Every structure is written in structure tokens, then in C-alpha cells.
């Protein structure tokens, strides 16, 4: 046996071992979900890296189904890649079944108005429970769910809350129930809700909206829902707070940090410090260009993906370039608002379950978090709740739509809410809605883009604090622009240019996607709350239950 043969045999054994580890993690070992194991780059070796150069959408490769075991494909690639006339695109097409675009064959009915269009799309974006396919990265779920659309043919954590708003308005409460059951199942199986139901998403989560989802169910089905999902709420909280008991002031561990004064707050994180499989080539290029330790850059890129704002100037040290990303150095107001809501929801769930001592403990933690956020995350000079550099002990100067989360969850005091409203009018309000930030970087979570979830958080948060004129103005601008783009293109898309210079949004690491789950959900709900805007009239809120009452009816 030659040295080359021995080396090739060893490589195949390594890839086969990696393949088995990946399957074992995704199908058999929930407790291992937070540990990085070999993934597709190790399975396919040079083929994986070379595919980055020829595939337009890198995510398609990690979602594809191989036609034979990966070790066989990798070995065959090594044998043929240097032959005359070799075509890598043709090789990939021969060896893999590439994923279709979710809803890619759907054609808009020209007789449908926007409401009818959204209601019809739910069935197009619905996915049924299915058995595990060990060839693919998809993690099967036991109940039905809605995918966003386009390249995103899997469930996404924080997207789903905003999708649920529209499902309820469309009379699809049954789907909302099934989706919450899926998220509870993911917590039971993996100890947390992954970014999405793919193996390569298991090392991170997304903004923790599970408590908000449970409260949405409780509004319809009663407070017993809170006790039903108490075990999963508690386990998600443990995931986000893991390691907090041992932290000294000035230290951080995974997703939790203890500030110099002893306050406990949270940050985004990822358990891996390698390139994201779905954006491998871009991450490698970013790390190399940064001049920083590559593992440090990869960790921060992954943490930025967990934030849902992938990517934005709010994470950049120079507010301009991705290479300066420092997500794990930041305590964000949106994440901590969501965890405050989780603590309050847990407190009420314990009360409903007849556990007053645990209820008091979680309520105390919520109160402490609120006080810490008001003390550290409030930037009086800018009049916003700001991202906080926890090691430096100071807020950043970025003004972003994340400042509205403390209004949405009732954390801000009246003075702070009024100042936030003033800053929003001056800095974020645009002709077609609310911008994510004030900075143009070419990243998708910066100017000129606006996003459906941020409109909903802003509109309802401002309305709860009596800023109804501003809330209605944002709603009217957003609804009208969504409808205008729909009338022109027949599509509802992932993000929009809100500056008045364009229609659909752009930027970031992939092409604009249509479908689109959370756009459909928020628009469907807003059109019910502001019906006049749907016909291009004046925005007039109707007498429906306010968002805060929906979220907190069963909260103290």
C-alpha cells in the first residue's frame, strides 16, 4: 500500500467518523448540542472549500442531499478534480440534490388583494412533520410549521413569533399551537431552541421569543398554557443563564456577564469559533482581512448570527466594517428585554402552577434586570437604550431600532419612553417606515433597510406609552410601502428600502428573499389594527386589545 493510498484511506475514515458524529448529535444526543463536532467542512474537505467559489448561494450546499455517502463523494472528487475539462458545477449537480426555493414555484393570483395573498401563502410555506433523512442537515420536527420562504426552507426561531401574529389574524390558531409545540420539543431535545432546525444551527439560538409565543397562546387559550409550558420556559432560561452563579464581577461566561457592580445581564454567543458552514467562504475571507485571531472573529460572527441582526453596524467597533465585529463584547437592550419578559413569564407560570417561592424568585430577578438596564443601558446623551460595552463599562453611540424593545416589554419609564420617541422621530423615521440604524454599511441590518419585526416592536411599544401618533405614522408608512411593492411585483419580501429611494431592500450576504414569513405576519396584523392605511387612507387605530395587554394579561 502506497503512502498516498494510506493517506486517502485515513482521510475517508476521518470523514466517515465525522459523518457519524454529526448524525449522532442531531438524532441521538441532546446533551451534546452545545458542543462543536465535525461538520460538513470536515466531511467533504477540499470539495467544501472549492464549492464556495462556484456556488452563488453557499447555504444551498449545506442543505443539499448527497447521492452517496460523503466519504465516497469526497474521494471521487480527489480523483477527478485535476483531470482535463473537469467542471465543478456539473460535479456538484451530479452528486447532490440541491434544495428548491421555498415557495419558488408559487405564482401570485392577480385577483387576490394582499390579505388574500397572505392567507393563501400560509399553505405554501407550511411544512409537515417528517422522518429524519440522515443524508441532510434538516432536523425533523414532530408538528407542522411555517418556513420564511426562498432559501429559508426550515423553521427560524425569532421569525416565528412575528409569523404567528399573522397566522392568528388569518384564523390559523391551529398552526400557532403546532409551532409552539415544536419549539417546546426542541427545548426538550436539545436544551435550547436552535437558530433553525438544521444541524449547523445547533450551536446557537436566536432572540428568545418563546415566552412571547406562550403568552400569545395564553391570550387565546387561558393562563393554564403558562403552566403547560413551564418546564420548557425554565429550561430555556437555564440555557441563557448557564454559568451565572459562578461569575465574579467583570466576568462573562457564554451568554451571561456580571458587570462591575454585580448586575447580571446577557449577551449573544455561539458555542463554536469556526466559520459558519452556511457562509463558510465569506467568514474565512472576513477573518483573514481582519488581521485578528481568526477564532475570535468567527465567534463574533456566529454571535452576530444568533442576534438575528446579521449583520449591522451596531456590532462593529468602527461602526463601518464587518472585520471589526465585536458582538460578544456587547450587552444589547433587545436581548435583555426579551429575557426580562422570560423572567416575568416564568414568575407568572410558577404562580399558576402553585409555586409561590419560585414565582417570587423569578420576579425578583426580573426587577433586578429592569433596574440594571435602566442604570447601564440607558444613554441619556442620545436619549436611547443603547448597546453596552460591558468590559469598558460604557454604552456605544449607535442609535438603532433595538432601543424600542424596552418600550415593547414595559421596562422604560415615562421620561425614557418620551426621549426614545423623540430620537426615533429625529433619527430612525423614514418615508416608508422605521430604519434599523442610522448608518449605511452595505450590511442588511443597516440603512436603507427596514424590517417587519422592528416595525411591530416600535409600533406597539410606542403605542403602549401613549406615543400613538408616531406609532400610527410608522404603521401607515410601512403598510403603504408593503402594498405598493406588492402591487408592483406581486411579492412580499424579507426587507424593504424605507428611505424613499427604492422598493425592496438589499445588502448583506445573500440575495433578497420573497415569501416571506414575518413580513406576511406583521403586515396581516397591522392591516387589522390600522385598516384605513391598507386602502391608502389616514391611519386610524381600531379598538382592539393593545399589544401589551395581549402579552401581559397574565402577568402582574
What's the grid cell of residue 449? 433597510
For residues 530 and 479, the answer to whether their CB atoms sit within 8 Å is yes
From 153, 306, 329, 494, active-site residue: 494
From 159, 236, 310, 387, active-site residue: 310
Task: Give the 3-state secondary structure of residue 296.
Answer: helix
For residues 313 and 443, the answer to whether their CB atoms sit within 8 Å is yes
Nearest residue to 279 via CA among 125, 56, 58:
58
Rounded distance between C-alpha atoms, residue 396 and residue 379, angstroms: 8
Tell me what percent of the chain is helix, strand and coil, each rounded to the nearest 5.
Answer: 55, 10, 35
Task: Give the 3-state secondary structure of residue 16.
Answer: helix
What's the grid cell of residue 546? 393593545
For residues 529 and 521, the answer to whether their CB atoms sit within 8 Å is no
Rounded distance between C-alpha atoms, residue 462 and residue 21, angstroms: 48
For residues 317 and 324, the answer to whether their CB atoms sit within 8 Å is yes
Nearest residue to 150 via CA among 128, 125, 133:
125
Nearest residue to 471 via CA among 530, 383, 523:
530
Active-site residue, 320 included:
no
Which residue blocks in 332-413 are alpha helix, DSSP H?
333-352, 356-372, 405-408
Rounded distance between C-alpha atoms, residue 556 and residue 407, angstroms: 17
Active-site residue, 494 included:
yes
Task: Give the 3-state secondary structure of residue 450.
Answer: strand
**Can you spell out the DSSP letters for 353-367?**
TT-HHHHHHHHHHHH
Q: To which residue does cell 422598493 refer?
A: 503
For residue 373, what is the DSSP state?
A: I
For residue 450, the cross-strand partners are 496
Strand-pair category, 256-258 with 126-127: unpaired
Nearest residue to 302 via CA among 382, 203, 397:
203
Nearest residue to 524 via CA among 113, 109, 103, 118:
118
Q: Burial letters for 359-369: b for 16+ Cβ neighbours within 10 Å, e otherwise?
A: beebbebbebb
C-alpha 167: how far from its chain's center?
19
For residue 379, the cross-strand partners are 384
Active site residues: 310, 494
Amino acid at each position: 500500500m502506497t503512502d498516498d493510498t494510506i493517506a486517502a484511506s485515513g482521510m475517508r475514515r476521518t470523514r466517515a467518523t465525522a459523518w457519524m458524529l454529526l448524525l449522532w448529535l442531531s438524532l441521538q444526543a441532546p446533551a451534546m448540542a452545545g458542543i462543536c463536532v465535525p461538520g460538513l467542512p470536515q466531511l467533504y474537505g477540499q470539495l467544501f472549500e472549492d464549492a464556495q467559489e462556484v456556488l452563488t448561494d453557499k447555504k444551498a450546499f449545506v442543505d443539499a442531499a448527497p447521492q452517496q455517502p460523503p466519504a465516497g463523494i469526497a474521494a471521487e472528487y480527489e480523483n477527478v478534480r485535476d483531470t482535463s475539462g473537469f467542471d465543478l458545477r456539473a460535479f456538484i449537480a451530479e452528486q447532490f440534490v440541491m434544495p428548491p426555493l421555498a415557495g419558488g414555484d408559487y405564482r401570485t393570483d392577480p385577483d387576490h388583494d394582499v390579505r388574500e395573498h397572505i392567507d393563501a401563502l400560509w399553505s405554501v410555506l407550511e411544512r409537515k412533520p417528517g422522518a429524519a433523512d440522515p443524508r441532510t442537515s434538516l432536523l425533523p420536527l414532530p408538528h407542522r410549521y411555517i418556513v420564511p420562504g426562498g432559501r429559508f426552507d426550515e423553521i427560524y426561531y425569532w421569525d416565528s413569533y412575528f409569523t404567528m401574529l399573522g397566522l392568528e389574524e388569518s384564523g390559523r390558531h391551529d398552526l400557532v399551537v403546532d409551532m409552539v409545540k415544536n419549539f417546546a420539543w426542541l427545548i426538550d431535545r436539545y436544551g435550547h431552541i436552535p437558530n433553525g432546525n438544521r444541524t449547523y444551527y445547533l450551536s446557537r439560538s436566536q432572540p428568545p421569543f418563546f415566552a412571547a409565543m406562550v403568552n400569545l397562546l395564553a391570550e387565546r387559550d387561558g393562563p393554564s398554557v403558562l403552566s403547560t409550558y413551564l418546564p420548557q420556559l425554565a429550561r430555556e432560561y437555564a440555557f441563557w443563564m448557564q454559568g451565572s452563579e459562578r461569575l465574579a464581577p467583570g466576568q462573562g461566561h457564554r451568554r451571561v456577564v456580571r458587570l462591575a457592580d454585580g448586575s447580571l445581564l446577557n449577551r449573544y454567543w455561539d458555542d463554536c469559533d469556526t466559520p459558519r458552514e452556511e457562509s463558510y467562504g465569506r467568514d474565512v475571507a472576513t477573518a483573514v482581512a481582519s488581521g485578528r485571531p481568526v477564532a475570535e472573529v468567527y465567534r463574533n460572527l456566529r454571535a452576530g448570527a444568533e442576534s438575528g441582526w446579521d449583520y449591522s453596524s451596531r456590532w462593529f467597533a468602527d461602526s463601518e466594517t464587518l472585520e471589526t465585529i465585536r458582538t460578544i463584547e456587547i450587552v444589547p437592550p433587545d436581548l435583555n428585554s426579551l429575557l426580562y419578559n422570560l423572567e416575568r413569564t416564568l414568575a407568572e407560570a410558577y404562580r399558576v402552577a402553585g409555586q409561590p417561592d419560585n414565582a417570587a424568585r423569578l420576579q425578583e430577578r426580573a426587577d433586578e434586570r429592569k433596574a440594571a438596564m435602566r442604570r447601564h443601558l440607558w444613554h441619556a446623551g442620545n436619549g436611547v437604550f443603547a448597546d453596552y460595552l460591558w468590559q469598558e463599562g460604557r454604552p456605544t453611540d449607535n442609535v438603532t431600532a433595538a432601543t424600542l424593545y424596552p418600550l415593547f416589554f414595559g421596562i422604560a419609564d415615562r421620561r425614557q419612553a418620551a426621549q426614545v420617541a423623540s430620537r426615533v422621530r429625529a433619527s430612525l423615521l423614514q418615508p416608508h417606515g422605521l430604519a434599523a440604524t442610522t448608518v449605511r454599511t452595505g450590511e442588511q441590518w443597516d440603512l436603507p433597510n427596514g424590517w417587519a419585526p422592528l416595525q411591530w416592536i416600535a409600533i406597539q411599544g410606542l403605542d403602549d406609552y401613549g406615543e400613538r401618533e408616531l406609532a400610527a405614522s410608522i404603521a401607515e408608512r410601512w403598510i403603504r410601502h408593503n402594498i405598493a411593492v406588492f402591487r408592483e411585483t406581486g411579492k412580499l419580501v424579507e426587507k424593504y428600502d424605507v428611505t424613499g429611494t427604492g422598493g425592496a431592500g438589499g445588502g448583506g450576504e445573500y440575495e433578497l428573499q420573497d415569501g416571506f414569513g414575518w413580513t406576511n405576519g406583521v403586515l396581516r396584523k397591522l392591516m387589522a389594527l390600522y385598516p384605513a392605511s391598507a386602502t391608502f387612507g389616514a391611519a386610524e387605530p381600531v379598538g382592539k386589545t393593545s399589544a401589551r395587554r395581549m402579552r401581559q394579561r397574565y402577568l402582574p
